[in-house]
C-alpha cells in the first residue's frame, strides 16, 4: 500500500468514527487519536529514507532519491492528513 492509500484508509476510518458520533473519543490524547497519529507516522515513514542531494555530496546512509510520483503521492497524503486533522479538531 502506498502512502496516499494508507492515509486515505486512515482518514476514512476517522471520518466514519466521527459520523458514528465517536468524535469525543477522537479528541482524547489517548485512544483513537493516538492510534490515528501513530498509523499516519508509519504510513509516512518512507519519507525518512529519501534524500534531496545527489550521491556526489557525500555519504547518503542508504537514503534514496524519490521519484517525482513518490513526491506527488507524499504531498497528496500530507494534504489529506491535514484536512482530516483539521476536521477532527473542529
pLDDT in tens, 4-59: 999 999 888 888 877 776 755 555 556 677 788 888 999 999 888 888 777 777 77
Q: What confidence score (pLDDT) does residue 90 get?
A: 73
How far is residue 71 from each of residues 3, 15, 24, 46, 74, measured CA to CA in Å?
10, 25, 34, 11, 5
The DSSP secondary structure of 39-61, one letter per residue, reads: HHHHHHGGGGGB-SS-GGGS--T
pLDDT in tens, 49-63: 888 777 777 777 878
1-5, 50-54, 65-69 — most confident range: 65-69
Would you place residue 72 in the very low, low, confident or very high pLDDT band (cuts 50, 70, 90)? very high
**C-alpha cell recorded at residue 6:** 494508507
Query: Number of structural domains, the chain?
Result: 1
**C-alpha cell recorded at residue 75:** 504531498
The whole domain housing 37 covers: 3-89
Amino acid at each position: 500500500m502506498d502512502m496516499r492509500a494508507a492515509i486515505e484508509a486512515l482518514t476514512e476510518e476517522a471520518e466514519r468514527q466521527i459520523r458514528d458520533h465517536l468524535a469525543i473519543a477522537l479528541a482524547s490524547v489517548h485512544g483513537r487519536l493516538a492510534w490515528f497519529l501513530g498509523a499516519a507516522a508509519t504510513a509516512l515513514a518512507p519519507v525518512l529514507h529519501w534524500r534531496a542531494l545527489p550521491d556526489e555530496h557525500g555519504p547518503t546512509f542508504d537514503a534514496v532519491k524519490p521519484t517525482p510520483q513518490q513526491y506527488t503521492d507524499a504531498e497528496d497524503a500530507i494534504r489529506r492528513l491535514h484536512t482530516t486533522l483539521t476536521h477532527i479538531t473542529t
